[in-house]
Amino acid sequence: MLKAKPYLRSIHLKDGYDCESYPFSIPAVANLDNLTFHEDVTFFVGENGSGKSTVLEAIALVMGFSAQGGTKNLDLSDAGGLSGLHEYIKPKKSYEHPKDGYFLRAESFYNVATAMDYYGYLQGYGGRSLHNQSHGESFMATLLHKFKGKGLYLLDEPEAALSPARQLAALVRINDLVEDGSQFIIATHSPILLAYPRAKILIFDSDGLYEVKYEQTEHFAITRDFLNNYQKRLERLFSDELE
């Protein structure tokens, strides 16, 4: 029997794009056709500038969110600089619609918080203005109170605001929501979040876009090596710098 999840099963590229120009000049974007998502969590990883936010934003737009983020009901004007990628993306969706949804992006969360104050939508964020909470507190309030379950959640670097302990708490919340019928797509650099087991990890790099295991990621390897040998690694780093 066909399952309700994933709500967003895959994305496909329409014909007619110019692979020489932005955003298709980004190798991972050129490789987007037929990208399938995990029913629980799909992670986007890769170097800065490899195209993760560009793709997540395009997915958000075709799924009915505004480019700056928030729920589907929030219609903030885009802040300019849209890549146009969404015009070339065809989503393949489940027969069942998600009951809830949110696009959380670190870079424009401030604007969403301002809009929430303006409209007085504070109940869903724990009853307090997001501007009166710290960056990390407001992110956690969103995860804990605003995300209601059975939803499609798109998160761009949620760890940007979170301490390591809060990242562990975020993992617990993500797992609860997954068990309650939610699907996540998360762009991240966090070796803690990436450890989530019910997930598919997609690397964006100069070869394009492909799936890897957690232990194959640089995030895992570099962090583990550094923490196990940080004194030696620092000596090496600084002496290389002096040479």
Ligand X SMILES: Nc1ncnc2c1ncn2[C@@H]1O[C@H](COP(=O)(O)OP(=O)(O)OP(=O)(O)O)[C@@H](O)[C@H]1O
Residue 69 engages ligand X in binding (rule: CB under 6 A): no
Q: Does residue 53 interact with ligand X by CB under 6 A? A: yes
Establish if 108 lies at the interface with Mg ion (CB under 5 A). no
Q: Nearest approach, Cβ of 120 to ligand X (angstroms)?
A: 32
CA dihedral 204, 98, 153, 80 (to 10 degrees): 80
In terms of CB distance, is 49 or 164 closer to ligand X? 49
70 Cβ contact partners less than 8 Å away, ≥ 6 residues apart: 76, 102, 103, 112, 115
Q: Which of 8, 13, 26, 41 binds ligand X (CB under 6 A)?
A: 26
CA distance 223 to 74: 37
Q: Give least dist CB 24 to ligand X, A.
A: 11
The separation between CA 61 and the C-alpha centre of its own chain, rounded to angstroms, equals 14
- Rule CB under 6 A: is residue 31 a binding residue for ligand X? no
The residue within the footprint of Mg ion, chosen from 31, 42, 50, 53 (CB under 5 A), is 53
Out of Mg ion, ligand X, none, which partner does residue 69 contact, by CB within 5 to 8 A per kind? none
Does the footprint of Mg ion cover residue 83 (CB under 5 A)? no
Does residue number 79 form part of the binding site for ligand X (CB under 6 A)?
A: no
Distance between CA atoms of 101 and 38, rounded to whole angstroms?
A: 17
Q: What does the alpha-carbon distance between residue 116 and residue 48 come to, in Å, rounded to a whole number? A: 30
Q: Is 42 in the site for ligand X (CB under 6 A)?
A: no
Q: Which of 22, 119, 210, 226 binds ligand X (CB under 6 A)?
A: 22
Helix, coil or strand: residue 149: coil
- Among residues 25 and 123, whose Cβ is nearest to ligand X? 25
Q: Which is nearer to ligand X, 130 or 209 (CB)?
A: 209
Evaluate whether 36 touches 202 at the Cβ level (below 8 Å).
no
User: Is 53 or 142 the residue whose CB approaches ligand X more closely?
Assistant: 53
Q: Choose, by CB under 6 A, the member of 6, 51, 101, 181 that binds ligand X.
A: 51
Rounded (to 5) percent helix, strand, coil in the chain: 40, 20, 40
Among 175, 8, 187, CA closest to 89: 8
In this chain, which stretch among 51-59, 112-120, 130-138, 225-233 interacts with Mg ion, using CB under 5 A?
51-59
Count the neighbouring beta carbons within 10 Å of the beta carbon of residue 107. Answer: 13
Q: Which of 64, 69, 70 is nearest to 124 (CA)?
A: 70
Which stretches of the chain bind ligand X, using CB under 6 A? Answer: 22, 26, 46, 48-54, 81
Site for Mg ion, rule CB under 5 A: 52-53
